[in-house]
Amino acid sequence: MCATLVTMTRSRRERSIPAGEFKAKCLSLLDEVETRGHTIVVTKRGRPVARVVPLPKAGGDLIGSLLHEEDLAEPLDVTWEADT
């Protein structure tokens, strides 16, 4: 029987930080994750317990989503209740 050895390598864009330090610097670390796109692994007693990762950018989600276009300035051919 052959055993498989799996190793975890840390990417250049990922760093570890102790939970106490994360607690003290939480807001600035979240800004760093957002602006730089880096991942932070939070550790307790040297063991990883959480990973903070950047979310995909939300901008541009609506580009190309318009399905039907009309002349919005064109008068409507509708009788309104207020007119009767």
- Give percent of the chain above pLDDT 90: 48
Domain coordinates in residue numbering, the chain: 12-55
Report the candidate in 37, 9, 42 with the shortest Cα–Cα distance to residue 25: 42
- Please give the model's pTM, rounded to 2 decimal places: 0.55
User: The tokens 């989600």 sit on which residue?
Assistant: 61
Say which CATH architecture domain 12-55 belongs to.
3-Layer(aba) Sandwich (3.40)
User: The tokens 């330090």 sit on which residue?
Assistant: 21
> For the chain, first and last CA: distance in Å?
87
At residue 7, the pLDDT reads 47
At residue 48, the pLDDT reads 96
Q: How many whole angstroms separate alpha carbon 30 and alpha carbon 50?
A: 13
At residue 31, the pLDDT reads 94
At residue 2, the pLDDT reads 56
pLDDT digits 0-9 by tens, 11-44: 568 899 999 999 999 999 999 999 999 999 999 9
